[in-house]
Amino acid sequence: MSLQAAALQMVSTPRVEDNLDSARVLLAQAAREGAELAVLPEYFCQIGLGDHDKLAIQEPPGEGPIQRFLAGCARDFGLWIVGGTLPLASADAQRVRNSTLVYSPAGQCVARYDKIHLFRFDNGRDRYDESRSIQAGGEPVLFDLPARDGRRWRIGLSVCYDLRFPELYRHLSAGGAQVLLVPSAFTHTTGQAHWETLLRARAIENLAWVLAPAQGGVHDSGRRTWGHSMIVDPWGAVLACHEADGPGVLVAALDAKHQEALRSQLPALDHRKL
């Protein structure tokens, strides 16, 4: 009993329509390769020339061309689609929510997660501060995915910089998460140093599958993202990695019995004291 899952890598531009066209090609490929679940990277719909470009394309929850695109692709390809992140309107006119939306194969939006931890980094060369244009979320989110074989999977949502905060993943694990999703746009500097280590750690400590689709390449703004989209098993083994820059599709079978066996052999989740 397994779930065929896909992590999609992109190099998004400031042009929403071009990015949606690219995403559609990758989603179609994932469907052809048998995926039931396809996960797009953070900022799949736009990486702009500046922090506030995303304000111009923000959408109210439940409507807008990006949300219609995700719903339509879910229906067209018969996929569960996790829409990386897109900018949804917030109460603050100068900031948006960086939101992950989940669509069922019927095209229904079944879950929303607003990124909780906002990235800030300054090494004297690269400077980022997401709080200038993004309003943080506050609630962890899980959803249930009934697979084609009848098994129900419990899936926890997170985004990029969240990866550095293991307490979020412990909360998701305590809620029953078997799969952890980490759509990302890691910088080249931080990704080269920590990306694989953090992904494998989150998988190992929660005995969970980790799917991490990423932005990977040089963007129009000159920003360089690390890529290396990855699928990691509950023992920390890397099942698939897109090592080159540029778009790509990773598909792997998430084996439920393999996970159950590991959790039985090493019942660390039952041994938690705090």
Q: Exactly one of 36, 42, 59, 130 is catalytic; which is it?
A: 42
CB 266 within 8 A of CB 234: no
Q: Exactly one of 73, 115, 130, 241 is catalytic; which is it?
A: 115
Active site residue 167: no
Q: Exactly one of 36, 59, 73, 160 is catalytic; which is it?
A: 160
Active site residue 160: yes
What's the token pair of residue 19? 């990015």
What contacts 219, CB < 8 A, 6 or more positions away? 11, 12, 13, 47, 225
| SS3 state of residue 170 | helix
Strand partners of residue 122: 127
CB 35 within 8 A of CB 4: yes
Distance set, CA 207 to CA 1, 6, 173 (Å): 17, 19, 9
CB 208 within 8 A of CB 179: yes
Sign of CA dihedral 205, 206, 207, 213: negative
CB 67 within 8 A of CB 109: yes
Positions marked catalytic: 42, 115, 160
